[in-house]
Amino acid sequence: MKTEVTDWGLIPYGEAWDKQEFIFNELIEAKLSGQDYTNHIFFCEHPHVYTLGRHGKANNMLLGDEQLRTIDATLYRTDRGGDITYHGPGQIVCYPIINLEEFGLGLKNYIDILEEAVIRVCDTYGIKAGRVDGATGVWLDINTPKERKICAIGVRSSRYVTMHGLAFNVNTDLRYFGYINPCGFINKGVTSLAQELGKEVPFNEVKQRLEKELLLLLKQQ
């Protein structure tokens, strides 16, 4: 099985979504016709943007169009799972476009792998992270009043091929989460590696650690 990792750098959300759609459809077509294909893992950052999942509630976006322009942000309604989230500079976004069947994975197992990769990266920085029952993503101080999310996950799958993925807060400006009910929650906080460690974290270092853990977990299947 062939898996390529590509870093798109800072890229507008709409452009990244178009690229994903093209590669996603191409992989599905190759899979169904028995042709050779490559699995892809894309890393990037986005300018300030909010994305609303296909079952998300519009009222979890607390700003109108004019207010969004004031904070230099845009809003997209997407075809991924999950509710609303924020992407912006200092946040690692990862979009695996892979054939889950090739890795022997179902969708739930795949989401577990995305979460586990982030949990392991957090551990390398001395941060204990984990999962919350009934909610995707990676969380800190689980089952306490200080429960907060450090990584959001929302994926789309068709014919066992995936797109969209995870958003891991590294040096993210957390003020932008104050304009939404993140992932639809009104009683849970959001955090970042920088917030937890009290200092900015080397962004590329975190990205490399995440890539390593993700590839390792996929190879173990």
User: Among the options 44, 122, 151, 183, which is catalytic?
Assistant: 183
How many domains are there within the chain?
A: 1
**Lowest-pLDDT choice from 72-86, 117-131, 173-187, 188-202:** 173-187
Tokens representing residue 197 in the block: 């460690």
Model pLDDT for residues 12-65, shown as the tens digit of each residue: 999 999 999 999 999 999 999 999 999 999 999 999 999 998 888 888 899 999
Residue 66 sits in a domain whose CATH number is 3.30.930.10
Q: How confident is the model at residue 185 (pLDDT cuts 50, 70, 90)?
A: low
Residue type, 196: E
pTM tops 0.85: yes
Q: Is the pLDDT of residue 183 over 70?
A: no
Segment 206-214 shows an average pLDDT of 98
Q: What is the pLDDT of residue 29?
A: 97
Do 42 and 95 meet the contact criterion of CB atoms below 8 Å apart? yes
Q: Is the pLDDT of residue 189 over 70?
A: yes
Q: What is the pLDDT of residue 186?
A: 57
Segment 179-183 shows an average pLDDT of 76
Report which of 41, 36, 44, 151 is spatially closest to residue 96, judged by C-alpha positions.
41
Q: What percent of the chain has pLDDT over 90?
A: 84
Do 92 and 172 meet the contact criterion of CB atoms below 8 Å apart? no
Do 168 and 210 meet the contact criterion of CB atoms below 8 Å apart? yes
Segment 209-221 shows an average pLDDT of 95
Specify the DSSP class assigned to residue 170.
Answer: S
Which stretches of the chain are assigned E, i.e. beta strand?
Answer: 3-10, 39-45, 49-52, 74-77, 84-87, 91-97, 129-132, 135-140, 148-158, 161-169, 189-190
Active-site residue flag, 151: no
Q: CA–CA separation, 90 vs 204, rounded Å?
A: 10
Q: What percent of the chain has pLDDT over 70?
A: 97
Q: How confident is the model at residue 83 (pLDDT cuts 50, 70, 90)?
A: confident
Q: What is the pLDDT of residue 43?
A: 98
Question: What is the span of the domain harbouring residue 30?
Answer: 3-219
